[in-house]
Structure 1
Amino acid sequence: MKPPFSLLLGGAACFALGALSMRAADAPAPVTGPMLRAAQQLLGLQFTDAQLDSARRDVEGNRKDFEANRRVPLPNSVAPATVFNPVPSTWQPAAAAGNDKLPELAKVTLPANREELAFYSVRQLGELLRTRQISSEDLTRFFLARLRRYDAKLLCVTSLTEELALQQARAADAEIRRGRYRGPLHGIPYGLKDLFSVKGYKTTWGSVPYKDQVLDEDAAVAVRLREAGAVLCAKLTLGELAMGDVWYGGRTRTPWNLTKGSSGSSAGSAAAVAAGLLPFAIGTETLGSIVSPSTACGVTGLRPSFGRVSRAGAMALSWTMDKVGPLARSAEDCALVFDALVGPDRRDPATLLVPADFRYAFDVDVRKLRIGYLKADFERQYPNKANDEATLAALRKLGVELVPLELPPLPASDITYLLVAEGAAAFDELTRSGRDQLMVNQDRNAWPNTFRSSRFIPAVEYIQAQRYRTLLIEEMARRLQGLDGYMAPSFGRNLVLTNLTGHPAVAVPNGFTPEGLPQTITFMGALFEEGKLLALVKAYQDATDFDEKHPPLNF
């Protein structure tokens, strides 16, 4: 076993030992004392020349190991042997909340103007299908037509899956006619963020080097939604390799203002749902990729607890931070979709470490909930503060007990290099091959440069950051004791911290900016308590009408 010192410098060796010329045909220069002195300066270390000389042979040996390892193919689908566990040491399963039943639904009938179906909820459309007032095939053709009509301006679709959609819709109709009704998603059209694989269709990851990629597997979420009877109509855009809203086909737009991007990286999922092109869509979040586009497009987005939904068949960016969740019109719709997705999957070991069940908790009396709010965050001055204050007032009117809360003082933003280190590993071959130069974004903050700079993150510092993350998890558990959740402005330190700790969140429309763009507030849940969290959001949405707003689409 190599001594700890060589491990410390081993992570840094790549930058001093030819990382910037990894594609060069010539053998790398021998490791020298001056190389190691330069390396340690970048890392903020102060070893003596004698100590560096003693380490030199180990570092050179590490480099040979690196070179040998790089000859072994490592596709993006191969995960590390280690698995992130978000469960704090003090965690105890909460008592089951709710009766696991959906609320009564008022009678639903077909509208005189069929275009109004575009903004019906998943639950309403499901009732029309169940009572056979419309067929899944007709509904699917309706949404396929909207996708074709509006995509030219929104740029939210990478591939229409029309053949598959019509096949699934006809199968749903046949089952419903025979009396085999699978549930509220049976026959409902939907879209997938195009980092999920689907057999027979491209999985482009939004990026030029992968725009013709076809993966011969169905992602776990596609399988589970197929089993629930849902109908896949489109693969939807994502910012290139899950960053932002710019992809190889252009920039995805928010339907509220075509001069503005939809944000990302679940760009197409949010834009399509907001514009009524699909009733719901699946997105992912690593550091804001559901919350941010939900805000830009004015939809309800659920980011579940880490590990609740399998990521098998999905592009990996950060194995310890990636999460899968639905974007829809309301909390109730998100709950319907989440119920179909949640559960263990041996292809994603993270799902084996967390609770596997989900219960609807819509009968929970919100007057008995204790909900924290980030008092200091809400008291500071920030744009559109009045909308957030109105949300707090609406909750007090509903009888919700609001309790001041402070986040742990630990600076979570200082360890977000965990994400880019894992991303650089996930796309190591892309960087070393030079194909990263094909990507659309090439500025300093774009992936090509970030992946290169991430080669300079030492292995020891990465592991220390994961240990620091454990402190965050434990401290958050302590501060949330006795609370059923909390509220926060949609952006700021809370977004970073909770993506690191794995807590669930729902981005909820709560008003508009003076320019007419939607805004959201974030409802945070206790770990694995999505049922209670969605019940609280539904109570708020029942008392307000922001979730029923939709863009005029006068384009």
Structure 2
Amino acid sequence: MRKSTLALLGTACFVSGAFVTKLAENTITIDMMRDAQNLMGLHFTDAQLDSARADMEDFRKDYETIRKQPLSNDVAPALMFNPIPVGFAFEQGESSFEVARPAHVKLPKKREELAFYTVPQLAELVRTQQITSEELTRFYLERLKKYGPTLECVTTLTEELALQQARQADKEIKAGKYKGMLHGIPFGVKDLLSTKKYKTTWGAMPYKDQVIDEDATVVQRLQDAGGVLVAKLTLGALAMGDVWYGGKTRSPWDLTKGSSGSSAGSASAVAAGLLPYAIGTETLGSIVSPSTACGTTGLRPTFGRVSRSGAMALSWSMDKIGPIARSAEDCAIVFNAIYGPDGKDQSVYDVPFNYNATINPKKLRVGYLKNDFDGKYGFKETDQATLQVLRDAGVELVPIELPDLPARALTMTISVEGAAAFDELTRSGRDSLLVAQHKYAWPNTFRGARFIPAVEYLQAQRVRTLLVQQMQEKLKDVDVYISPSFASSNLVITNLTGHPCVVVPNGFQKNGMPTTITFMGKLFGEAELLSFSKFYQDLTNHEEQHPNLNFTKKKKA
């Protein structure tokens, strides 16, 4: 390596800043600038570089000045992603939400069967006072204590708070002040959502003792609906994968396999019947992937639907919060409690959510990514079976294609925004405390992102604008469409454009692990999307299959 390159790395070149705290005092030279431009494929002459040298010296001083300004993770950039294409029309009017109470719900003779009851079933038991919220909360706490350590899916049990909230719910229900289907129902949250008095670890060693003494908006809204917070759940460190500071979260279907991530604990706990539902987040597959590994149903809402106030930021323009549960209708019930503006997250839109389970899905215009159903994404047999079930039910499937733009290249968005979100972690050297240190782990991704020029990042966002507009055109004639869950182009494109999806179980692999399929909706089209997903689940029983929790006969890898 040339001396000039070493000097460049040590002095925080103009590319995007350095990952050393103290800037070297030597002057920026033409040799350094020549090496810097080679990193990004530029071809300025020496004379042109020399003319720009004074600006670069000034930029470097500005970097140092800006770094002296404290910036906590919750401070968002003054730029906000706009997922709304030209010509898009918002639904108008007030929200209406209709979910029928299940009839004739009784306590099971075997109390263990409660573990896999749906939210409406549990809600009816609590509403009719066949079981108290405190009894139900203690039931799930015991399951979390029994199975949580083996699955490595819990960071913190909030037992004291949970019992307090459950007793309060029982008092309110007994007094006739019933708040709805989440009243008295236990839940857990991914441990990147802040909670009063309890640690918020972000799954990462440098933050394992961090306390952010406030409730995230999502947590507060669920508690306002009468929900009982019983656990903070694991996530792969800083929202990547299933490896966290305490271990590796497991799929309850096979303990030799991870639960994927990064909403690792949320999916694992729900699949194992340790909770009725949990909150996850997704930036690029973090609800879809663990739901597939664990066989749960997950909703990734439209970008701008749910406030992220109190949530760890990884990518301000891509992070989304949604529920992981047993069924699409469970997800609809939870979503109904958490969506909408809170006056804090300015990216959230005020758009109604008119879910009605009795809607006729056969009247929806349903597309599917025909070219992605050839098996190259792993689950050909079960995916084809899903299409056939829908066709047999009278649903006409229309083939569609996604925009032909370089979406994969746009994922630099996460690298750049993540590097900014964790700038202090990188420059302080505390990134060495993270468990994962492999080539593609966050420490190296954040370091590499320092060399992405601001111009190139903004150019990527301009291409993203084209992607948003072209998706609007592609979906103008469909209400929902179907994709294999791991069709990479769909997963990448729709996370960049902010479109909602519901991932649902649709069978099993030969090795016994679950498979899923993904139903996609239009922007802010969660009502139709969840209704269609429920329609499919009413035709099948995949979401009713549960893992055998006889862990004593299995060993972890």
- TM bracket, shorter-chain basis: over 0.9
Please list, as runs of the form range in 1=range in 2, the aligned pairs for 1:98-117 lying within 5 A after superposition. 100-117=97-114
User: In the superposition, relative to structure 1, how do residues 528 and 13 fare at CA in structure 2: closer, same or farther (>3 Å)?
Assistant: farther
CA RMSD of aligned residues (A): 1.8
User: In the superposition, relative to structure 1, how do residues 478 and 19 fare at CA in structure 2: closer, same or farther (>3 Å)?
Assistant: closer
SS in 2 for 1:191: strand
* Alpha-carbon displacement from aligned partner over 1:270-327 (angstroms, at most 9, x marks no partner): 0000000000000000000000000000000000000100000010000000000000
> Is 2:263 aligned against 1:239?
no
> Is 2:517 aligned against 1:524?
no
Displacement of 1:200:
0.3
- For residue 546 of structure 2, what is the aligned residue in structure 1? 550
Residue 160 of structure 1 is aligned with which of 157, 160, 169?
Answer: 157
* Alpha-carbon displacement from aligned partner over 1:204-244 (angstroms, at most 9, x marks no partner): 00000000000121100111001000000000000000000
User: In the superposition, relative to structure 1, how do residues 57 and 11 fare at CA in structure 2: closer, same or farther (>3 Å)?
Assistant: farther
- Matched letter for residue 523 of structure 1: F
* Alpha-carbon displacement from aligned partner over 1:110-147 (angstroms, at most 9, x marks no partner): 00111100000011000100000000000000000000
User: In the superposition, relative to structure 1, how do residues 380 and 143 fare at CA in structure 2: closer, same or farther (>3 Å)?
Assistant: closer
Please list, as runs of the form range in 1=range in 2, the aligned pairs for 1:100-499 lying within 5 A after superposition. 100-351=97-348, 354-491=349-486, 492-499=488-495
Q: Does the Cα contact within 8 Å between 2:279 and 2:324 map onto a contact in 1?
A: yes
* Alpha-carbon displacement from aligned partner over 1:468-489 (angstroms, at most 9, x marks no partner): 1010000000010021110000
Q: Does the Cα contact within 8 Å between 2:12 and 2:19 map onto a contact in 1?
A: no
Displacement of 1:359:
1.7
Separation in structure 1 between the aligned mates of residue 353 and residue 548 of structure 2, nearest angstrom: 36
Q: Does the Cα contact within 8 Å between 2:14 and 2:56 map onto a contact in 1?
A: no
SS in 1 for 2:240: coil
Displacement of 1:150:
0.2
Displacement of 1:105:
1.9
- Matched letter for residue 58 of structure 1: D
Separation in structure 2 between the aligned mates of residue 350 and residue 81 of structure 1, nearest angstrom: 11
- For residue 503 of structure 1, what is the aligned residue in structure 2? 499
Q: Does the Cα contact within 8 Å between 1:369 and 1:401 map onto a contact in 2?
A: no
SS in 1 for 2:481: strand
- Matched letter for residue 543 of structure 1: L
- Matched letter for residue 527 of structure 2: G
Q: Does the Cα contact within 8 Å between 1:196 and 1:219 map onto a contact in 2?
A: yes
Q: Does the Cα contact within 8 Å between 1:98 and 1:363 map onto a contact in 2?
A: no
Separation in structure 2 between the aligned mates of residue 349 and residue 228 of structure 1, nearest angstrom: 23
Please report the TM-score for the alignment, with normalisation by the length of structure 1.
0.95
Separation in structure 2 between the aligned mates of residue 341 and residue 134 of structure 1, nearest angstrom: 26
Residue 65 of structure 2 is aligned with which of 52, 63, 68?
Answer: 68
User: In the superposition, relative to structure 1, how do residues 12 and 103 fare at CA in structure 2: closer, same or farther (>3 Å)?
Assistant: farther
Separation in structure 2 between the aligned mates of residue 209 and residue 545 of structure 1, nearest angstrom: 43
Separation in structure 2 between the aligned mates of residue 382 and residue 313 of structure 1, nearest angstrom: 35
Separation in structure 2 between the aligned mates of residue 73 and residue 207 of structure 1, nearest angstrom: 21
Separation in structure 2 between the aligned mates of residue 173 and residue 94 of structure 1, nearest angstrom: 37
Displacement of 1:16:
6.6
Separation in structure 1 between the aligned mates of residue 161 and residue 282 of structure 2, nearest angstrom: 27
- For residue 4 of structure 1, what is the aligned residue in structure 2? none
Separation in structure 1 between the aligned mates of residue 467 and residue 333 of structure 2, nearest angstrom: 31
Displacement of 1:247:
0.3
Separation in structure 2 between the aligned mates of residue 247 and residue 100 of structure 1, nearest angstrom: 38
Separation in structure 2 between the aligned mates of residue 394 and residue 29 of structure 1, nearest angstrom: 69
User: In the superposition, relative to structure 1, how do residues 429 and 406 fare at CA in structure 2: closer, same or farther (>3 Å)?
Assistant: same
* Alpha-carbon displacement from aligned partner over 1:405-459 (angstroms, at most 9, x marks no partner): 0011112001100111000000000000000011101111000111000000100
- For residue 14 of structure 1, what is the aligned residue in structure 2? 12
Q: Does the Cα contact within 8 Å between 1:238 and 1:267 map onto a contact in 2?
A: yes
State the number of aligned residues.
543
- Matched letter for residue 86 of structure 1: P
- Matched letter for residue 262 of structure 2: S
Q: Does the Cα contact within 8 Å between 2:9 and 2:18 map onto a contact in 1?
A: no
User: In the superposition, relative to structure 1, how do residues 137 and 459 fare at CA in structure 2: closer, same or farther (>3 Å)?
Assistant: same
Bigger mean CA deviation after superposition, 66-75 or 358-367: 358-367
- Matched letter for residue 385 of structure 2: A
Structure 2, unaligned runs of 5 or more: 1-7, 552-557
- Matched letter for residue 35 of structure 2: A
Displacement of 1:381:
4.0
* Alpha-carbon displacement from aligned partner over 1:39-72 (angstroms, at most 9, x marks no partner): 1111111111111001000001000000011011
Q: Does the Cα contact within 8 Å between 1:99 and 1:363 map onto a contact in 2?
A: no
Bigger mean CA deviation after superposition, 314-323 or 355-364: 355-364
- For residue 536 of structure 1, what is the aligned residue in structure 2? 532
- Matched letter for residue 117 of structure 1: L
SS in 2 for 1:14: coil
* Alpha-carbon displacement from aligned partner over 1:73-107 (angstroms, at most 9, x marks no partner): 10101111111111111101247799632135222
User: In the superposition, relative to structure 1, how do residues 534 and 97 fare at CA in structure 2: closer, same or farther (>3 Å)?
Assistant: farther
- For residue 5 of structure 2, what is the aligned residue in structure 1? none
Please list, as runs of the form range in 1=range in 2, the aligned pairs for 1:81-92 lying within 5 A after superposition. 81-92=78-89
SS in 1 for 2:115: helix
Separation in structure 1 between the aligned mates of residue 50 and residue 447 of structure 2, nearest angstrom: 27
